[in-house]
Chain A
Amino acid sequence: MALLETITAAVQLTPVEQSHLDQARQMQAMSFAVHIPLTCFGVAFPALVVFTEWLHLRTGDPLYRRIARRWSRIMVALFAVGVVTGTILSFELGMLWPNFMGSFGDVFGLGFAIEGFAFFLEAIFIGIYVYGWDRMKPRQHWLCGLPIVATGVLGAAMVIAVNGWMNHPGGFDLVDGEVANVRPWSALFGNTFFWHELVHMYVAAYIVVGFLLAGAYAWGKLRGRWGRYERTALAIPLTVAAVAAPVQLLVGDWAAREVAQHQPVKLAALEGLQETTKGAPEHILGWYDKDTGEIRWGISIPKLLSFLSYHDPNATVRGLDSVPPDDRPGPINTVRFAFQTMVGIGTALAALAAIVLFVRWRRRRLPESVWFYRALVLAGPAAVVALISGWVVTEVGRQPWIVYEVMRVDAAVTGAGGVPVGYALLALVYVGLLAALAWILRRLSRMPLRDDAEVLT
């Protein structure tokens, strides 16, 4: 009891000021960084599994069934971890940002309500699909896979609708600083940010899943595992990624133009553009110098930024100086590096995809070079890095606002002490969780399936 009192006293002495804002933000960011890659497997992976099972139904080839079945077990393991990390996020929304939830929960909450149902259905049908392989009729079983695909997309769409609203808020009025006349449907779905964010993330999910999965089999090939099973299991996700990666270049360009139009300060941050400029140049690489407001050591391409943003080489691009320093995202270089990382990796992945499609078209086979497979092993983790970088761009670039130009993060954060303790604990738990996840995936990839047993006996 004495110990408890000491701890209590220590925690209560911590100032209930904004001192925990940074930790709260980092804790939230960490939770998202763990959760978002997992959600890709909820969005894109079911489609791959269901497609592969469909190939089995169509051709009768048991190979496809075996692939789909093994993938479905990986899917359910990742889904389970995604469920819990997603639950943490919904807890954190209230625990870390009570004023945000208290003021605006009624504006955007509807999105989560629909997401909850989508997620519910996904959980139900994943349970049926994964545990129903043996005792359901093949066609029935396959049909039970389809709702997983649909609900995965629907759930992601709802969460992104909320994020789109945070970046481009609407659907309510401010009357004397209080939220009034809430119009939840138009807040979420009558929002221009919803569409490009959704499409960008949706395509990203296929790229991440495609390259990660293909990369796992590429790793196997480099170590000599290259039977018909592995070739097929590599070809399907690789083809998915190969058609998705080039599409993402165009979608990303569209998203950037939307940002230029609706969040000019974010665009200025991700380009490191200090002054409002007519015919602004694009800088590749380099470093934003806080004191001079210039990009150092960057490669400058004249007028390209104006052209990319507004399709006019002489268009005026707003700079950071168009708003007071307090209204700019703090760490400009973080946003800028994240943006360049995302674009760089995305372009490299599209190039890899072009190689795949070219070889497929001209030679009607998979690439054979060992360097291709080495690159493919790296492509999966690189896609995850690009994914996280993209979210850093949109979320850190949104700062200092939690609701863009309406509520600041420091007005939203909890007054409760103990954020650093929670942050440290959660970080420890997540390290353990990811280690355990790596262990289980390795185990699942080696565990023989029952079909194999039938084949062997």
Chain B
Amino acid sequence: MHLYDLPLLFALIGLVLYVVLAGADFGAGFWQLVAGRGERGRRVREHAHDSMAPVWEANHVWLIFVLVVMWTCYPEAFASIASTLSIPLFVAALGIIFRGAAYALRAGTSQARELRVIDAIFSIASVLTPFALGTVVGGIASGRVPVGNAAGDAWSSWLNPTSVTIGLLAVALSAYLAAVYLAADAVRRGDAEMEQAFRLRALGAGLVAGGMAAGALVVLRDDTRALFDELVSGAGLAAVIVSALAGLGTLLLVRARSYERSRYSAAVAVAAIVAGWAIAQAPALLPGQLTVEQAAAGDDTLIAVVAAVVAGVVVLAPSLGLLFTLTLRGSLGHGGSGEEHGPTAVAPLGGAASAGAGAGGGGAVAAAGVTDEWPTPVHALGAARNGLLARGAIAFAVLGFGFLTVADAGWAHAIGVPCLFAAALLGFRAAVPLD
């Protein structure tokens, strides 16, 4: 392991996490797409949405992480990939827009008709994005990205047997991961019907994904022989076997209703596939074109990125731990949004709000009716202290003007800006709250 390999390792770990975590989000969209109509279909869609809403943004960031590490540490390879494969990347980007927008929109509606439109957009995007990103991986792995500014073919670089196979595999894997996670979520919520529904989906999707992974090997044999040879020998073969065993183990765990453990074995299966790809392709970053060593940026940049990643992980790990702990413990309730989605809760509230609107808005009526008995916020601050704050604000504003505006030296500006911020803070505190 050289220094120039290290950021690539980070990017691959990021890719695994993206596939495992965000892949499950995409898969949830797939299940929404095929949920069918009627009450049961609605419940499947609600369950899929509610499980993913608090975590999808955090999961999405892994993609950004991969992109950023790639362009900082392997700029030439990144530029070649992004320009040659701009079409599938653009398709993935559009899918990401639709998906994010659907999450934002869903918070604001409770009407079945609007939900159907939003869910349809969401679902299509959820299938499109993993497919497009899978074709990108296929284009790189099959050596169809030459070094240079859009040097490769705009179409055949991603519409080829390897790309399409990996794209479809990405969709199947997402659906499989999502079904496993959603079954586990259903157990935690004590929802036996959803558990059963997603257990069956997980088993079915697992079989399909496993079959497709085996089929992918056949396609690779024809289309990308060099990669195939590496995958069926040595460390590559070990990775393939680990993936197959973990996949099989997951199926057995799902069958035995041991969902929490099956989450991890499913993740291992995916990680092994990505690892197999990396092992089979090493030491090339763009096969036949560029090795990792050739593509890597200078040592100072690599060290800086490694340092940033290590420092970032130190802060990130406990934060992510907190998010997932709270999610698994059920502390991140859907209190606000959940109840409002339900048809029972919305009817009386909607009625009250529209009745209130005539008399100046529901919120206003409610606020005026109840909150008068509370102390007014002005009491929080005495008038004398307010005066002091205001005078302090003026003093700092004068200092800031002197150091930032009148003075020309850099050190003076470094004093002037904090003075102005202090003035703004004190001024804000003096002027707010008012009632």
Contact = CB atoms under 8 A, between A and B. Distances in A.
B369 A455 contact: yes
Nearest to A245: B424
Contacts of A86: 64
Nearest to B59: A123
A183 B303 CA distance: 11
B150 A415 contact: yes
B433 interface: yes
Interface stretch (B39-47, B201-209, B220-228, B400-408): B400-408
B60 A440 contact: no
Given A110-B304, A182-B301, A239 B371 contact: no
B249 interface: no
A364 B433 CA distance: 11
A106 B61 contact: no
Contacts of A77: 104, 107-108
B284 interface: no
Contacts of B315: 117, 121
Nearest to B337: A73
A414 B86 contact: yes
Contact of B150 (A83, A414, A450): A414
B288 interface: no
A147 B187 CA distance: 32
B93 interface: yes
Interface string B298-324: 101100110011001001100110110
Interface in B85-124: 86-87, 89-90, 92-94, 96-101, 103-105, 107-109
Given A99-B79, A195-B417, A113 B108 contact: no
Contacts of A135: 330-333, 335
A235 interface: yes
B368 to A, nearest CB: 5
A366 interface: yes
Interface in A414-455: 414-418, 422, 425-426, 429, 433, 436-437, 439-440, 443-444, 446-450, 452-453, 455
Contact of A447 (B55, B76, B331, B340): B340
A147 B75 contact: no
A190 interface: no
Given A87-B64, A132-B326, A443-B108, A101 B331 contact: no
A447 B108 contact: yes
A120 B400 CA distance: 34
B366 interface: yes
Interface in B418-433: 420-421, 423-425, 427-428, 431-433
A415 B83 contact: yes
Interface string A113-139: 111110111011111101111111000
A426 B93 CA distance: 10
A251 interface: yes
B332 A452 contact: no
Contacts of B397: 246
A407 interface: no
Contacts of B97: 84-85, 87-88, 429, 433
Given A98-B149, A131-B334, A230 B363 contact: yes
Interface stretch (A8-16, A275-283, A285-293): A8-16
Interface residues of B, number: 124
B420 A247 contact: yes
A296 interface: no
B interface majority secondary structure: helix
B363 A94 contact: no
B353 A448 contact: yes
B364 A110 contact: no
Q: Which of B69, B104, B326, B428 has the most CB of A within 10 A?
A: B104
Interface residues of A, number: 133
Interface string A221-233: 0001111111110
Given A134-B333, A254-B413, A450-B339, A61 B64 contact: no
Contact of B323 (A55, A127, A366, A449): A127
B340 A414 contact: no
B392 interface: no
A60 interface: yes
B179 interface: no
A164 to B, nearest CB: 15
Nearest to B296: A106
A220 interface: yes
B83 A236 contact: no
Nearest to A93: B71
Interface string B137-156: 00000000000011100110
Contact of A127 (B58, B107, B374, B432): B58
A418 B93 CA distance: 15
Contacts of B363: 66, 225, 227, 229-230, 448, 452
Contact of A106 (B83, B86, B105, B297): B297
Contacts of A414: 83, 86, 149-150
Contacts of B421: 247
B162 interface: no
Interface in B348-384: 349-350, 352-353, 360-372, 374-375, 377, 379-380
A69 interface: yes
B262 interface: no
Nearest to B340: A447
B57 interface: yes
A71 interface: no
A416 B335 contact: no
Given A98-B82, A126-B57, A235-B435, A88 B93 contact: yes
A205 to B, nearest CB: 13
A295 interface: no
A110 B301 contact: yes
Contact of B58 (A64, A123, A246, A439): A123
B434 interface: yes
Interface string B192-232: 00000000000000000000000000000000000000000
Contacts of A361: 390
A9 B404 CA distance: 59
Contact of A63 (B60, B301, B360, B371): B371
Contact of A365 (B81, B404, B416, B434): B434
A251 B90 CA distance: 38
Contacts of B99: 84
Contacts of B84: 416
Interface in A382-440: 414-418, 422, 425-426, 429, 433, 436-437, 439-440
B397 to A, nearest CB: 8
Contacts of A199: 417
A257 B407 CA distance: 11
A440 to B, nearest CB: 4
16 contacts: A73-B107, A87-B100, A98-B80, A101-B75, A102-B79, A105-B75, A113-B68, A117-B308, A131-B332, A135-B331, A135-B333, A220-B361, A228-B371, A236-B432, A254-B404, A456-B366
Given A128-B323, A247-B423, 20 more contacts: A8-B154, A59-B380, A63-B367, A73-B336, A81-B100, A84-B101, A98-B150, A121-B315, A127-B54, A127-B332, A180-B298, A227-B364, A227-B368, A235-B433, A235-B434, A254-B413, A360-B434, A414-B149, A416-B149, A422-B90
Interface of B: 53-55, 57-58, 60-61, 63-65, 67-69, 71-73, 75-76, 78-84, 86-87, 89-90, 92-94, 96-101, 103-105, 107-109, 149-151, 154-155, 297-298, 300-301, 304-305, 308-309, 312, 315-316, 319-320, 322-323, 326, 330-337, 339-340, 345, 349-350, 352-353, 360-372, 374-375, 377, 379-380, 390, 393, 397, 400-401, 404-406, 408, 410, 413-414, 416-417, 420-421, 423-425, 427-428, 431-435
